Chain A
Amino acid sequence: MSGTAIRPKFERPSLSEIARERAPLALVPVLALAGFVSIGSFPTWVTLTVAGLAMGMMIFIMASGLTLVFGLMDVINFGHGAFVTVGAFVGFTVLGLLAGWTSDPSVLINLAAVFLAILAAMGITGLLGYAFERVIVMPVYGSHLKQILVTMGGLIVAQQLIHVIWGPDAIHISRPETLQGSYIVGTALVEKYRLLAVVIGLVLFAAMTYILNRTKIGLLVRAGVENGEMVEALGYRIGRLFLGVFMAGSALAGLGGVMWGLYQQTITAHMGSEIMVLVFIVVIIGGLGSVGGCFIGAMLVGLLSNYAAFLFPKLALVSTIALMMIVLMWRPQGLYPVVKAK
């Protein structure tokens, strides 16, 4: 080829760079193994691991929207938890309306009820996301301080409105008939609902990976994370992209809210701000803006929380904080820091 003369060296990533890139992937199996060693009982370990993965998937669903919004727009939404709560309450209301479906002995009809509840929750939280972005976030692009304050204000208002609409008391939300109870796998007990949560989480992760890597919208989002100005200079309106991602992120929070509500079987107006603690830990561990890092972080936090809750019941949340500190010592920007061009 005539180009050889002008071809400078192609910088292949060195082995150590590849190792650096891949190392975080090993953390999840390492943690699972460490859990096995310290728990010592195989059936208990299986039960806890499934529980941990289910919890991790749900946190991932809620955290992915937050981290993507940060990566793309440099906006950190402290009000993200409000969408989780609203999603849970909308899901509760829909499941209540579909009481006939949820008490039906058929798995399909049960799943259809859950699906409809999720759809409604995502629709409403997506629309709320639209309003939130336009009214609350848009005027404060570029100022982290104001973003934190204003989105926190949004969270307060949203929580109070939930009080007004659904009342101040914690509400019990029961799982549909066929999603209650457990399977017995060998000698291990595996809750049915947790399996469903793992499946939904995996499907979602696959879908997100596909969209981000194989569609033009996904490419635009990734390009925008790195250099939004250049995306505009190519002729794309980044404002619309922002809005779309924000709405998607809010809808995912709503989905996570329904699933978390069904998992805990109790919902309260401040459940969103409680779960946000885990979400923030996950997002920090993963690296602000990184979806892949967020996934790994969520799995780590889910597993560790469940192992710790079994081994040292009072230290579950503290153990995740310790994990976050250790990760930050290793990589101050999180597992997969997002590189900004500017």
Chain B
Amino acid sequence: MPEPLLTLDGVHTHIDQYHILQGVTLEVPAGGVSVLLGRNGAGKTTTLRTIMGLWHASSGTIRFDGRDITALATPDIARLGIAYVPENMGIFSDLTVRENLVLAATSGPPASDRLDWLFGLFPPLKTFWDSAAGTLSGGQKQMLSIARAIIEPRRLVLVDEPTKGLAPAIIVSVRKALQELKETDTTILLVEQNFQLASRVGDTVSVMDDGRIVHSGAMAELAGDRDMQERLMGLSLEAHQ
């Protein structure tokens, strides 16, 4: 089996006095979409933020492409080719769509064919190219946030609940974007509560509870096993269907 692109080994994260991650061990294989499931408060967002270096692991190691990145600063982690789409989208509302994307292209002005590809995925970005990002609707902001993460080829994209609170039509375009991105050899670690979407795009899946990974395996296996779904995340599934 090939070396996984990203490995977390016994990662603990404390935020103030709270012990959020309690030994997360997780492998994200290169290529494809790995989905992280779990109920609210299980530690999914904290896992992504810890990978990104926005919170620091108090123990355990995080390896990316064979390199220990546990103690690296966030900008250095980003420069290794890891992009982050936070749950609140983190767009710069005072800046225009164009300026948001220009800042995200760290190695020079954005390539025009890459832009065309993004416009194909998310047409509103072209329409509102010079509008302040703060005036976009929620779905458009999400598109911008994803586009910003992939304005340059990345090796790993961390996406936190991209469909939260969005209309069904936009969820479709987000799903399409994730699927197209998969084709470009980009690895995606997706946190998602919407199991329907997760099971359509996901290749592998891990389920979190109380700051630990309680199940890891192929997505097909979980998608085909109702009992297992019920057992692992019965509550969260009901809440979201």
What's the minimum C-beta distance from A17 to chain B, rounded to whole angstroms?
10
Q: Which residues of B contact A1 (CB under 8 A)?
A: 123, 127
Give A7-37 as 1s and 0s: 1 = Cβ < 8 Å from B's Cβ atoms: 1111111000000000000000000000000
Q: Please pick, from A6, A216, A229, A339, the residue contacting B169 in the complex, using a CB distance under 8 A.
A: A6
Q: Is A164 an interface residue, CB under 8 A from the partner?
A: no
Q: Which residues of A contact B75 (CB under 8 A)?
A: 232, 235-238
Q: Is B28 an interface residue, CB under 8 A from the partner?
A: no
What's the minimum C-beta distance from B23 to chain A, rounded to whole angstroms?
25
Chain B residues bordering chain A, tally (CB within 8 A): 41
Known: A7-B123, A232-B74. A220 touches B169 (CB 8 A): no
Q: Please pick, from B92, B106, B169, the residue contacting A227 in the complex, using a CB distance under 8 A.
A: B92
What's the minimum C-beta distance from B146 to chain A, rounded to whole angstroms?
14
What's the minimum C-beta distance from A5 to chain B, rounded to whole angstroms?
6
Q: Which residues of B contact A238 (CB under 8 A)?
A: 75
Q: Which residues of A contact B167 (CB under 8 A)?
A: 8
Q: Which residues of B contact A237 (CB under 8 A)?
A: 73, 75
Task: Let me know if B103 and A9 touch, CB within 8 A.
Answer: no
Give A224-247 as 1s and 0s: 1 = Cβ < 8 Å from B's Cβ atoms: 011101111111111000000000
A232 to B86, CA, bound (A): 13
Q: Please pick, from A2, A10, A230, the residue contacting B86 in the complex, using a CB distance under 8 A.
A: A230
What's the minimum C-beta distance from B141 to chain A, rounded to whole angstroms?
11
A232 to B128, CA, bound (A): 25
Q: Is B222 an interface residue, CB under 8 A from the partner?
A: no
What's the minimum C-beta distance from A118 to chain B, rounded to whole angstroms?
31
Of A3, A13, A233, the most chain B CB neighbours within 10 A belong to A233
Q: Which residues of A contact B126 (CB under 8 A)?
A: 3
A236 to B172, CA, bound (A): 32
Task: Let me know if B140 and A234 touch, CB within 8 A.
Answer: no
Q: Is the interface of A mostly helix, strand, loop or mixed?
A: helix
Q: Which residues of A contact B148 (CB under 8 A)?
A: 234
Of A9, A232, A234, A236, the most chain B CB neighbours within 10 A belong to A234
Q: Which residues of B contact A234 (CB under 8 A)?
A: 78, 103-104, 106, 148
Q: Please pick, from A11, A220, A233, A236, the residue contacting B137 in the complex, using a CB distance under 8 A.
A: A11
Q: Is A223 an interface residue, CB under 8 A from the partner?
A: yes
A10 to B125, CA, bound (A): 12
What's the minimum C-beta distance from A241 to chain B, rounded to whole angstroms?
10
Question: Size band of the A side of the interface?
Answer: 20 to 34
A231 to B106, CA, bound (A): 11
A220 to B167, CA, bound (A): 31
Task: Let me know if A6 and B86 touch, CB within 8 A.
Answer: no
Task: Let me know if A220 and B93 touch, CB within 8 A.
Answer: no
Task: Let me know if B93 and A226 touch, CB within 8 A.
Answer: yes
What's the minimum C-beta distance from B129 to chain A, rounded to whole angstroms?
13
With both beta carbons as reference points, the residue of chain B lying nearest to A214 in the complex is identified as B99
Q: Is A311 an interface residue, CB under 8 A from the partner?
A: no
Q: Is A145 an interface residue, CB under 8 A from the partner?
A: no
Task: Let me know if A230 and B90 touch, CB within 8 A.
Answer: yes
Task: Let me know if A233 and B54 touch, CB within 8 A.
Answer: yes
Within 8 A of A (CB), among B101-159: 102-104, 106, 122-124, 126-128, 131, 135-140, 148
Q: Which residues of A contact B223 (CB under 8 A)?
A: none
With both beta carbons as reference points, the residue of chain A lying nearest to B140 in the complex is identified as A8
What's the minimum C-beta distance from A333 to chain B, rounded to whole angstroms?
16
With both beta carbons as reference points, the residue of chain B lying nearest to A7 in the complex is identified as B124
A341 to B99, CA, bound (A): 17
What's the minimum C-beta distance from B66 to chain A, rounded to whole angstroms?
20
With both beta carbons as reference points, the residue of chain B lying nearest to A4 in the complex is identified as B123
Give B56-97 as 1s and 0s: 1 = Cβ < 8 Å from A's Cβ atoms: 000000000000000001110011000110101011111100
Q: Which residues of B contact A222 (CB under 8 A)?
A: 92, 94-95
Task: Let me know if A236 and B106 touch, CB within 8 A.
Answer: yes
Q: Which residues of B contact A232 (CB under 8 A)?
A: 54, 73-75, 78
A233 to B167, CA, bound (A): 27
Q: List 27 A-B contacts (CB under 8 A).
A: A1-B123, A1-B127, A3-B122, A3-B126, A6-B173, A7-B127, A8-B138, A8-B170, A10-B131, A11-B135, A219-B103, A223-B94, A223-B103, A226-B92, A229-B74, A230-B86, A232-B75, A232-B78, A233-B78, A233-B83, A233-B84, A233-B86, A234-B78, A234-B104, A236-B106, A237-B73, A238-B75
Q: List residues of chain A with CB under 8 Å of any chain B CB.
A: 1-3, 5-13, 216, 219-220, 222-223, 225-227, 229-238, 339, 341
**Known A11-B136, A227-B90; 18 more pairs at CB < 8 Å:** A3-B122, A6-B124, A6-B139, A7-B123, A8-B170, A10-B128, A10-B137, A10-B140, A11-B135, A219-B102, A226-B93, A232-B74, A233-B54, A235-B79, A236-B103, A339-B94, A341-B88, A341-B90
